Amino acid sequence: MKKNKAIFLDRDGTINIDKDYMYRIEDFEFEPKADEALKILNDLGYILIVVTNQSGIARGYYTEQDVQTLHENLSKILKEKNINISKFYYCPHHPTKGIGEYKLDCFCRKPYPGMILKGIEEFNIDPSLSFMIGDKLSDVEAGLKANVTSVILKTRNDIDFSSLSENILIFDSLYDFAINLKKLNNN
């Protein structure tokens, strides 16, 4: 059976502007041209899968239902633009700041690859044809551990990009990545 190719995406700072502990759709704001980027990636035949750490759940700032509601609303907005996110995975845990059952050092929290590996299995993904895109070192570490190509975006200013391994691709934005991937696919 033929394997699929996927783009695994961090959410905050990659798809939307990172607003600390955002969980309401009225606070959601796309990174510049991120929705256009998602459309390009979808049109190139990639399955889009969001993998996001949500320590705000662990800290008691909002609930798992709040995150699920945000993802349902975001999915609806994107569907109106003919963009399909196949799955939203989120990690509700934090190893030190979590409360109760959420205080856990788990395999799903990036930099561990748990969410990506789950997506690879669930959607029959070929890691060698797939990417993990994020704005933090934990995103690219998770991608490397899952054997997908890791991409870091320059949407943050607290990373020394010159110190990164050469197997990590660096782009200014999700849109910049999508345009470059489209050019490669057209050659």
Q: Which parts of 32-177 are beta strand (E)?
A: 47-53, 85-91, 131-134, 149-153, 168-171
pLDDT of residue 157: 76
Give a yes or no: residue 18 inside a domain. Answer: yes
Place of tokens 């490669």: 184
Confirm whether 11 is domain-assigned: yes
pLDDT averaged over every residue in the chain: 95
pLDDT of the residue at 156: 81
pLDDT < 50: residue spans in the chain: none
Active-site residue flag, 12: yes
Count of structural domains within the chain: 1
Angle subtended at Cα 71 by Cα 58 and Cα 143, rounded to the nearest 5 degrees: 70
Taking CA atoms, 132 is separated from 10, 56, 70, 175, in Å, by 8, 22, 22, 14
pLDDT for position 34:
98
CA angle, residues 14, 42, 7, in degrees to nearest 5: 50
pLDDT at site 167: 85
* Full residue range of the structural domain in which residue 128 is found: 6-186
Q: Which one of 12, 18, 135, 139 is the catalytic residue?
A: 12
Of 10, 18, 135, 139, catalytic: 10
pLDDT at 70: 97
**What is the Cα–Cα distance from 50 to 41, expressed in whole angstroms?**
13
Residue 20 belongs to a domain = yes
Q: Is residue 121 part of a domain?
A: yes
Looking only at the bridges linking them, the beta strands covering 149-153 and 47-53 are: unpaired
What's the confidence (pLDDT) of residue 18?
93
Q: Which CATH number belongs to the domain containing residue 103 in this structure?
A: 3.40.50.1000
Determine whether 20 is an active site residue. no
Give this prediction's pTM. 0.96
> Is 1 inside a domain boundary?
no
